[in-house]
Every structure is written in structure tokens, then in C-alpha cells.
Amino acid sequence: MVVALTYMRRNRVQAEIAETYGVSQPSISRAVTTVTPLINQVLARFVPTADELDDRQQYIVDGTLLPCWSWSSHPELYSGKHKTTGMNVQIACTVDGQLRWISDPIDGSRHDSYCLGESGVLLTLTPANWIGDKGYVGNDMLTPIKKPECRELLDWEKEFNTQINRIRYVIEQVIANFKTWRILHTDYRRPIETFRKTISTVVALHFFASA
């Protein structure tokens, strides 16, 4: 358990962890492989689902890329926006910065708007008073105004965007706190087929620690 938690919290090289605990690297690998899904199973009840969000509440939503090694056989993981490979999760918080929901991971090549739709959160909720960045234009939520091709933004449009971005700053802090789990902001080195389960386990740990 300690080894698995150390690995997820710090993303230390397994050989280094093995040296710390006086065992072999394969022993560390087996421990991480075995214990990670067990943690996920035990803590799954602490993870809120999309249908638990309050339709009366205002949320700020944003996506973030969780990076991994550049596996040449998985081009679907490459994000043109971030110029690296990884998986995208959608995160929602309240306007006062309370984390409320994190989606399942989706291939990094996908746009935030697509990932939000695939998460299922819009099936039960109306995001009319949600706040997002320009990547969510078209989802009927409050977003900054895009600059028209034919003219510059008007003064009131610039001011509107400024106010939206001031509110959106809260979600950036929430994401930064989430990524204190180092494995979520440094390249994932284990087999790619274990990445989704590891992400889900860290999400569960994060919500459990906040409970």
C-alpha cells in the first residue's frame, strides 16, 4: 500500500523506490500493479458521478491533459493543443473553488467540448449558468466572446471577457491542487493499458483526502 501510494503521489522511478525499501524493482512493479485497482475499488464510493451534480448550482468547468510517454502506436493520445501525449479529464468546481466532479479520462487528441459531451454530464444537467473557456462555445454555457473575423471586440465585450476570466481563475487553482499528485503532471511510464485505472485511482484518492 505504501509503495503504491508513494508511486502515485511522487511518480518516482520504480528502481529508486526499490532501493529505498530494500527490494527488487519487479517487486515494486507487482505491488503497484496489484494494489492500485484495490484502492480504486475501495474508494470508488467517494467519487461523485455526473448525475450527483446539483442542477441549481453554478459550476466552472475546464479540461486538463494528464501527460504520458509518446507511444508511437497510440496517435489518439496526441494533443495538438498541448503538443504532447496524454489523456483529458473534465473538472467542475463551484464558483468558490469547491471541487465537485472529475470525468473519466478520454484520449488526449479530443477537444474539451467533445470530452464534456462524452462524459455524460450534459445528459442530466442544463449548463446555462455554467462558466467555461472558449473551448466550450456551443454548449449553451457562459464563455468568453470570440473575436469576430470582421472586427475587433467592442469595449463591453472585452470587459465581459475580463469578468469571465476572473471567475474562471478558480478552476485553474482547483486543477493545480489536483495535480499535486505528481503522476498527473509528469509523464506516465507504466504500460499504457494501466493509465486509465491509475488516473481513476488517483481521482478516488483525491476525493477521499478531501472528504
pLDDT per position as a tens digit, 129-153: 899 999 999 899 999 999 998 999 9
pLDDT over threshold 90, residue 104: yes
In the chain, pLDDT over 70 holds for what percent of residues? 100
190 φψ region: left (φ > 0), alpha (ψ -120 to 50), beta (else)? beta
H/E element, 61:
strand 59-67
Cβ–Cβ under 8 Å, residues 168 and 62: yes
For the entire predicted model, the pTM comes to: 0.93
Backbone angles phi, psi at 66, to 5 degrees: -100, 110
70 pLDDT above the threshold of 90: no
- Which tens digit of pLDDT belongs to each residue from 152-176? 999 999 999 999 999 999 999 999 9
Note the residue count of the chain: 211
pLDDT of 199 strictly over 90: yes
d(C-alpha 37, C-alpha 189), whole Å: 17
| Cα–Cα distance for residue pair 112/205, rounded to 1 Å | 24
Dihedral angle, C-alpha 205, 93, 102, 139, nearest 10 °: 180
pLDDT for residue 110 is more than 90: yes
What separation in angstroms does the CA of 198 have from each of 27, 44, 193? 18, 13, 10
Instruction: Please state, in angstroms and rounded to a whole number, the distance separating the CA atoms of residues 80 and 111.
Output: 10
pLDDT for the residue numbered 126: 87
Tell me the DSSP string of 14-36.
HHHHHHHHTS-HHHHHHHHHHHH
Q: How far is the C-alpha of 97 from the C-alpha of 121, rounded, in Å?
A: 19
Q: Is the pLDDT of residue 72 over 90?
A: no
Sorting pLDDT into bands at 50, 70 and 90, what band is 123? confident
Query: How sure is the predictor about 124, in pLDDT bands with cuts at 50, 70 and 90?
Result: confident
SS3 201: helix
